[in-house]
Structure 1
Amino acid sequence: MTSVSVSKDAVVSNPCVSLVIPVYNEAHGIRETLEAAEQVLREISDDYEIIVVDDGSTDQTWECVRCVADRDRSIRLIRFTRNFGKDSAILAGLKHSRGEGIVVMDGDLQHPPEILREMVRLWREEGYKVVHGVKERRQEESFFHRLFAKIFYGLMRGFSGYDLKGETDYKLLDRSVVDRYVGFPEKVRFFRGLIPWMGFKDTSVAFSPTNRKEGGSRWGSFALVRLGVRAICAFSSIPMQVVSILGGFMFIASLMLGFQTLYMKLTGRAVEGFSTVILLLLFIGSILMVSLGLIGQYLSMIYEEVKDRPAFVIDKTLNFEP
């Protein structure tokens, strides 16, 4: 890992507020995000830091942020060797943060920096350990994304008991929350769900997300489906139990069909055609494939945990103390 060191007096050693911004290919808008966030942070505290985690961007994101960080030592940079995923980028930022209050915010200005004032006030004055940024409405997106979100939140609520509708990764966490979160041994993480699961005293601040000013969402359809499946499996074993329930249902159905077939055979009435058999084979085959897929998902997550590989690998850092 390569790091660039600076003198200790140039870097705030114990900032009151840390802002973690995971980014991936945000070269067009990251400077505007940093300017807007820092303007608000200056009003909130004299001691703050901004940690930008470059999750293996393939554009000029690192160069853009480095130009700003070279002039402002309160902006600290982490660069991964490749794309490890947003949850890994958030974890890296939290591990390297030093503030007593840590905020996680996206780098595309869909999370408005203006509500940082209220989030910090609720943390400082009212003692909340977690302050969630919750969407009042969803930003403009495709029909598939809206449909998937509705299905995902419904399944998540039904399987795990956690209602994450409107939840985002925009959160303020107390240092005690962060210390426990980074201490979790699991590698497969879902930040948006793990924080409510921890059960600390929390509240929420509503906001209306703006549309991206440059480009579209970095989340493709397959990536969203994969994220949803992993999140549900990480928080509930009910899908595995559903497989058992479906197996029991099919066993009962097969017994009933077997008795019917035997009765018709004994009474001398032949079964006409194979439509029923074909439909049953297709139905049973579909259930088997879905069941094997669910089992495979759980096994793959266990496999990732057993390998015990690090959640990320850092290539470079900037403006951190040696």
Structure 2
Amino acid sequence: MKMLSVVLPAYNEEKMIVRAAQEIGKVLDDARISYELVFVDDGSKDTTWRKIEETAKENPHITGVHFSRNFGKEAAMFAGLANAKGDCCVVMDCDLQHPPETLVEMYRLWEDGYEVVEGVKRTRGKESALHRASAGLFYRIISKAVGIDMSRASDFKLMDRRAVEAILEMPERNAFFRALSSWIGFRSTSVEFDVQERTEGESKWSTRSLIKYAVTNIVAFSSAPMQVVTFAGIAVFLLGIVLGIQTLIKYFMGHAVEGFTTVILLILLIGSIIMISLGIIGYYISKIYEEVKGRPRYLISRKIDSRIDAQNG
């Protein structure tokens, strides 16, 4: 039987390690699916890694990866995929907001020949009005920027080994997993799921983190902000032409050009656009600098190898 690798990024999830291993394992055992659970501790500050070690001693299906420090969820997902041994891999949240039961449906679709099975959110669960509005704005902006509808997208997806290798071969350091997994193509389909309520711990996503996530990944995957700079320059140029024509008309009509306030406002407007444009360009240059240095996406300080054999389940 071909093996499924379940990649589980974890940051300060000490209360969820044992439960995640038990619930996911029960679902896959009942479905008679050979599997491994790849927990990636993203430099947690609590006892997450100790829980992974303790659980691995009792459960031969577990592989553990521990980062030397916090490198972020994107890095944790790539590390999990790189250390997974399965014929297909699925990335899901350690907090079980992605329902384990959906794994079986994804796996069966993969057996039918699909190489990417996208988990699509049917509902988002209980969220505050501010967080829902922030998330909605984030997905609208990022969908426009990357050219892919990400309004209901998630990191919860299953990929064939060929698709996993295609993503891992990409040399870029600042990778956007959700967009890249769609960009690579391959035969794909989707499965709807309802976001489950977190039972332990707290969500790591705040309005501030969503904004940071959006800016980082838009720049990593799209040149749209650079186009905004171009359009802003064109708009200011057209405004300058209009005001120039107005000034010449008044000059030839013998009227002095009035409006000291207007001049000040124009200077402030143009100066603001220039400074924002320089900031956008500078951010892109900083990301280019990071890519040129070629530092690794993550550093692994400790590792637990799974003892399960893909052939015996």
TM-score (norm 1): 0.89
What's the counterpart of residue 193 of structure 1? 179
1:232 partner amino acid: I
Please state whether the residue corresponding to 1:136 is helix, strand or coil: strand
1:91 counterpart = 2:78: yes
- Give the distance between the partners of 1:73 and 1:52, measured in 2 at CA: 13
User: Sequence identity, in percent?
Assistant: 46
Does the 8 A contact of 2:6 with 2:92 survive in 1? yes
After alignment, is 106-115 or 159-168 more displaced? 159-168
Q: Which moved more, 1:190-199 or 1:294-303?
A: 294-303
Instruction: Report which stretch shifted further, 271-280 or 78-87.
Output: 271-280
Mapped to 2, the partners of 1:44 and 1:176 lie a distance apart of: 24
1:213 aligns with 2:199: yes
Matched-pair contact (CA < 8 Å) for 2:66–2:303: yes
Mean Cα deviation higher: 156-165 or 194-203: 156-165
Instruction: Indicate whether 1:37 and 2:43 are aligned.
Output: no
Residue in 2 that maps onto 1:109: 96
Asked whether the 8 Å contact 1:230–1:297 carries over to 2, the reply is no
Distance 2:90 2:274 in 1: 44
The match for 2:275 is 289
C-alpha deviation, 1:133, in angstroms = 1.0
Whichever residue aligns with residue 243 of structure 2, its letter is L
**Code of the aligned partner of 2:238:** I
| Paired residues of 2:110 and 2:117 also in contact (CA < 8 A) | yes
Aligned-residue offset at 1:215: 3.5
Is 1:228 the counterpart of 2:214? The answer is: yes
Give a deviation string over 1:126-169, Cα, whole Å, max 9, x none. 21001111111222233343223222322333333210111111
Unmatched segments (≥5 aa) in structure 1: 1-13
Q: Residue 45 and residue 145 in structure 1: after superposition, are their counterparts in 2 closer, same or farther (change >3 A)? A: same
1:169 alignment partner, SS class: coil
Any conservation in 2 of the 1:17–1:45 contact (CA below 8 Å)? no
Counting only pairs closer than 5 Å after superposition, residues 98-177 of structure 1 correspond to structure 2 as 98-124=85-111, 126-177=112-163
Separation in 2, partners of 1:216, 1:264: 64
In the other structure, the counterpart of 2:311 is: none
- Decide whether the 8 Å contact of 2:3 with 2:86 is kept in 1: yes
Contact persistence 2:38–2:80 (CA under 8 A): yes
Contact 2:155 2:177 in 1 (8 A): yes
Distance 2:302 2:2 in 1: 22
Unaligned ranges ≥5, structure 2: 308-313
Greater mean alpha carbon deviation, residues 263-272 or residues 284-293: 263-272
What is the distance in 2 between the residues matched to 1:274 and 1:141? 50
**Is 1:16 aligned to 2:3, yes or no?**
yes
Deviations 1:57-78 (A, max 9, x none): 0011111222111111211111
Aligned to 1:3: none
In 1, Cα distance between equivalents of 2:230 and 2:51: 53
Q: 2:48 is matched with which residue: 61, 66, 80?
A: 61
Paired residue secondary structure (1:164): coil
Equivalent residues of 2:146, 2:221 under 8 A apart: yes
SS at match of 1:89: helix
What is the deviation of 1:270? 4.2
Q: Does 1:302 align with 2:284?
A: no
Amino acid at match of 2:100: P
Distance in 2, matches of 1:179 and 1:224, equals 28
Shift of residue 256, structure 1, vs aligned partner: 1.8
Distance 1:236 1:149 in 2: 19
Secondary structure of the residue aligned to 2:190 is strand
Match of 1:184 among 164, 170, 185: 170
| Alpha-carbon shift at residue 202 of structure 1 (Å) | 0.7
